[in-house]
């Protein structure tokens, strides 16, 4: 944890960062995989924030697993739009192709 970076970027200190980790049980808030902290092994913890909220402290949402090419934080950063996510959920729950195919199977 780079306290100077988090203070400068998000206006939080090490105690607040650690309190967020403790609140989450040091698990990624999305996939629930263990996050690295202290001497505990796990995935790299990254502070997730909403890009559209100007207040740095108010933009913080939690700790997610991270990595250069994968991780929940990277994935979420590409889809930071609630309506789009709701549309994705609706699509996955009821794919249009399956509606057509089920209809054809009945005939």
Per-residue pLDDT, 47: 93
Residue pair 76/67 in contact (Cβ under 8 Å)? The answer is: no
Per-block mean pLDDT, blocks of 10 residues, the chain (107 long): 87 94 96 92 92 89 88 84 88 89 80
Buried b (16+ CB within 10 A) or exposed e, 52-68: eeeeeeebbebbbbbee
Strand runs (DSSP E) across 3-105, as ranges? 44-49, 60-66
d(CA 22, CA 24): 5
Q: Which domains does the chain have, with CATH numbers?
A: 3-80 (3.40.1800)
CA nearest 44: which of 35, 53, 52? 35
């Amino acid at each position: 944890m780079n306290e100077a970076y988090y203070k400068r970027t998000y206006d939080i200190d090490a105690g607040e960062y650690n309190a967020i980790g403790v609140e989450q049980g040091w698990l990624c808030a999305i996939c629930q995989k263990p996050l690295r902290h202290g001497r505990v092994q796990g995935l790299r913890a990254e502070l997730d924030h909403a890009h559209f909220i100007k207040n740095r402290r108010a933009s913080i949402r939690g700790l997610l697993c991270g990595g250069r090419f994968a991780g929940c934080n990277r994935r979420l950063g590409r889809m930071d739009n609630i309506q789009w996510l709701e549309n994705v959920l609706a699509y996955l729950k009821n794919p249009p192709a399956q509606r057509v195919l089920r209809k054809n199977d009945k005939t």
